[in-house]
Structure 1
């Protein structure tokens, strides 16, 4: 796989296509990479010609690193469920779902457009379904939260226990007639199905949020042909989102710690147990800990990653993470800094922009403008709020249960390390469970076959994953269309005709030292680059640094107060990175394609989030 080694400060047009999948060399040691994944997620003989006709873009906004076998569950659930709401539930006139494949460990997407001759027939169904949701938005959203919470509670109830040496006498006398193995098998199936249930719920309102915003966006482009995309986004900013609640809770805890004079007890937040014990013994500590416990449920069901990887670390399981963030907020408060988001300023700017453009409209168009903007503003918060309930809370519980099951089988000798279940495909896990319950049930003196079979497979697959991690993915594959019009591809991922042309020209440089991307959040800042590939590196960020990453996670909010600006490889105006940066009033350029490969930590940059450019002022 080829590294994207040169910035997109380009004279676009020398290339007309990206490499075909078959043209990309496989990293040494990863030759058998296809064995990691189900057959339907990898290129297959006989399908090459069709796959080579399609334009694929790398979906490293949500999967920025190599996907391990069990982790494909997130790929399949997310992309399948997104597609079903476009294609089957809402009947979006111009867009069906997203085809998805894994190539050399990375996820690639290809949007499916509705043929022109089918668009008109979908419009009445689309309008009726859309009207039902928007006319009943609040009660349906309240019901959505109940459904999601109930599913999370079911997930929490699952247990994975070793089978008993003998069936309890009580089961004999009650006539139960089972040995407990059915619980293990059923709970695994429930684990998979419950996560799937919440992923279906995930997209019920998400696509509506995008649709409402896109409807407002298109109206603005029609009546204000020269309006910047960023001005339209500004008209829905400054809202209170549940996704920001975890960070807001940390700020409240920091403020309370300062009020109670507890600062000295946060000297070593890496030792969470000792820190909390010290606070418990201090004056005012009982009050602070009560507030801490209140914040934990549910707001610490939050990951420093994005919820799609088994290695993601959740606050509720690693209390040193929120304690470190609180310590930093305490330090900033003691330095006289303001740590809360500038919500009042965002609202004032929003209202100013709204009025400025509204005054240009006729009475009829102003009424339409108000209606469409109001609908977009109503639906807009869900675009981020769902993230907490699904990617963070649901998946946090899911991965905790996966680790519990993995530890059980590790104790039985099925694999060398506690988390090695991640190197099995999910259907292989069920085979392993049946292997265990069969050997146990018949009293086999040799035990299950798994301890002989799986350790070798796991070690081989670990080697393949490690080899795949040595290469960076191509931003796209095959020949792009003449123009990219599919709305979700443009707004969420930032895959526009202009960006694709920029990526195609990435081998031809001029002397400007400027990368081009999406003008995602306004403002101009100069500062030193800090390139981050993993959430574990966030502690390296210094005040005023410009964060450069393949993509940011919404949960990185607690460090945004330290940043000067943010730059990402992928993401459109409605990506998580763009929305979060706007709500933190942080200048941002998204969708550069290659910033994290080109820019090195220590370089001095000028980020223009209004124009969508990143200028390298000084190299290292």
Structure 2
């Protein structure tokens, strides 16, 4: 391993354009690689624009730009007067037809299965023995596939965000309850958020029926070797292990960027996940009838039927939130990284690079130049980029660049359906990105309580997926933020604490799905909580106390 200097280099942050730009520390808690800064913004805008037209949103696009590898975004309203009537009509149609239901069916019947087939087809190609031309062609296919998956992710934003935001906006207004209490009622509707799958269930059943395989899983064998042995195990265990690892092995584990690791690069996390599953660790399931009634009873009687309907729609669509990532761009990004690392290994053997992972710091054309022998950045230049990404974090950045954020435009003169769509989207975006404004103290860190309960344990302050192997069952995860790619590691933790995000952020969702305490949007937990300290997390109060 090449030693790296951990001294941060100065940042020069300039607005990427006119207006106000808001920091996205939820999806980019660390700087993106050069490849990531190239591929994500345009694909995101393309998918968002398709979704906006379908749902009649008054936003033309979500302008998501990279500044020194960090993400800032600016909502761009529809300015074309001729377009507005079309948007109003689309919004009315979306409400009348409940187009999110159509999108859920389209996701389940077509988009998800097609995505999985495409992932597995690319995954079956071993990049190591390919010729140079073959490797370049495979890299191009992986990149094009990844871009298509990013577009698809945002095409399905409407189904993932609108019904949940619609329920949240109405229920919060009717009841006056904290949004976290309201969102607790959709718990259990997103099994993928809890790391569940048919493949995992089959593997757990096969291990339960094979004592020798169970003993191997419980042994202290090196995790990578253990997973290889389970793949080769005769009978049901081998088939089930292969299917499960084919499903999750190349998913990025805590990132949307190929500069970070996929699951098979941290096999100890997969092994830990399997041990928890075999031991019977399960998500807590949906809310009780009493829990639902406790919220519903606060709704005005004349609105209770509408409350029931909105809750049903939110629960129907809730799983799309994480599935569109894990079965889409998260998996596709890992496949691209696999190709890049195979090329990096060749360049190490040729004396061009010091480590295979250095190639993941290059842009796409830079990769092609290096693989083809046409030049490109040096190993030292790529190492400097890696140091930059390792020593900077979004928590240290200003929350906006450029002009101060303006208030949201009034919706009182907008047709009812269009206003409803916008309020639903605004509620979801606020719940996704809005951190707490509570002030922390030296030994008490405050944020938004996302999932109730109390847990005491050892704090593991992780700066990124390279450190996931440090997690032990019951640890308190303290990190910048988590993405849907993190699901495989979540069964190991006793509570989640993040710097960024609101009650609809991924960390908040999975803490509710697992029934563990969650405190999000603290802004400074990774600074104030020492790694290895013993802490007490109170998910209801939104507090983390450093005990020792």
TM value normalised by structure 1: 0.72
Unaligned runs of 5+ in 1: 1-26, 35-41, 165-179, 437-447
* Partner Cα separation in structure 1 for residue 537 and residue 343 of structure 2: 46
Query: Cα deviations across residues 529-561 of structure 1 (Å, max 9, x unaligned)?
Result: 332223343444455432211123445556545
CA distance in 1, matches of 2:184, 2:157: 19
Structure-2 residue corresponding to 1:347 = 287
* Correspondence for 1:190 among 135, 141, 161: 141
Deviation at 1:397, TM superposition (A): 1.9
Preserved contact between residue 45 and residue 63 of structure 2 (Cα < 8 Å): yes
Instruction: Tell me if 1:148 matches 2:69.
Output: no
- On the 8 A contact 1:421/1:429 being kept in 2, the answer is yes
Q: Which has the larger radius of gyration?
A: 1
2:247 corresponds to 1:326: no
Tell me what 1:378 maps to: 316
Give unpaired runs (5+ residues) of structure 2: 1-5, 409-422
Please report how far the alpha carbon of residue 432 of structure 1 lies from its aligned counterpart in structure 2 after TM superposition: 5.0
Mapped partners of 1:247, 1:529: distance in 2: 29
- Which of 430, 442, 454 is matched with 1:524 structurally? 454
Name the residue aligned to 1:593.
523
Distance 2:149 2:231 in 1: 38
Give the match for residue 460 of structure 1.
381
Identify the residue that residue 425 of structure 1 maps to in structure 2. Answer: 363
- In the TM superposition, residue 425 of structure 1 has moved relative to its aligned partner by 1.6
CA RMSD in angstroms, aligned pairs only:
3.9
Q: What is residue 418 of structure 2 aligned with on the other side?
A: none
Please name the residue that 2:261 is paired with.
312
Choose which of 231, 237, 240 in structure 2 pairs with 1:291.
Answer: 240
Mapped to 2, the partners of 1:415 and 1:328 lie a distance apart of 39
| Cα pair distance change 1:408/1:278, threshold 3 Å | closer
Structure 2 SS opposite 1:601: coil
- CA gap 1:248/1:523 in 2 versus in 1, 3 angstroms: farther
1:169-568 alignment, distance < 5 Å = 187-224=138-175, 226-245=176-195, 250=200, 253=203, 256-262=206-212, 263-266=214-217, 267-270=219-222, 272-273=224-225, 277=229, 286-315=235-264, 321-327=269-275, 333=279, 338-343=280-285, 346-348=286-288, 351-361=289-299, 364-408=302-346, 415-431=353-369, 436=372, 448-450=373-375, 454=376, 457-467=378-388, 469-472=390-393, 473-478=396-401, 480-481=404-405, 486-495=426-435, 499=436, 513-554=443-484, 556-557=486-487, 560-568=490-498
> Distance in 1 between the 2:151 and 2:490 partners?
31
- With over 3 angstroms needed to count, the CA separation of the structure-2 counterparts of 1:274 and 1:556, relative to structure 1, is closer
Structure-2-length-normalised TM-score: 0.80
- The separation in 1 between residues aligned to 2:455 and 2:489, in whole angstroms, is 17
Other-structure match for 1:107: 71
Tell me how far 1:382 sits from its aligned partner.
Answer: 0.5
How many correspondences in the alignment?
519
Q: Structure 1 pair 364/322, CA: closer, same or farther in 2 (3 Å)?
A: same
Q: In structure 2, do the counterparts of structure 1 residues 425 and 133 end up closer, same or farther at CA, with 3 Å as the change threshold? A: same
CA deviation map 1:61-110 (0-9, x unaligned):
2333333322324532564345424545534135741332223x433334
Q: Deviations over 1:249-293 (max 9, x none)?
A: 557645653553234323233254467659978xxx634223323
- TM superposition shift of 1:604: 4.1
Which deviates the most, 184-193 or 541-550? 184-193
Deviations along 1:374-406, one digit per CA (max 9) or x if unpaired, are 111111111111121124322222222233344
Query: Equivalents in 1 of 2:124, 2:274: separation in Å?
Result: 31
Over 3 Å counting, the alpha-carbon distance change for 1:29 and 1:389 in structure 2 is closer
User: How far did 1:582 drift?
Assistant: 0.3
Contact 1:515 1:615 in 2 (8 A): yes
Q: How big is the shift at 1:571?
A: 1.4
Q: Is the 8 A contact 2:330 2:485 kept in 1?
A: no
| 1:588, distance to aligned residue in structure 2 (A) | 0.5
Contact 1:519–1:611 (CA<8 Å) still a contact in 2? yes
**SS of structure 2 residue aligned to 1:98:** strand
**Higher mean Cα deviation, 580-589 or 138-147?**
138-147
Write the mapping of 1:45-56 to structure 2, written as runs, cut at 5 A. Answer: 51=18, 53-56=19-22
Do the aligned partners of residues 556 and 155 (structure 1) sit closer, same or farther apart at CA in structure 2, a change above 3 Å counting?
A: closer
2:49 matched to 1:84? Answer: yes
> What displacement does 1:518 show?
1.9
Corresponding residue SS for 1:529: strand
* Alignment partner, residue 5 of structure 1: none
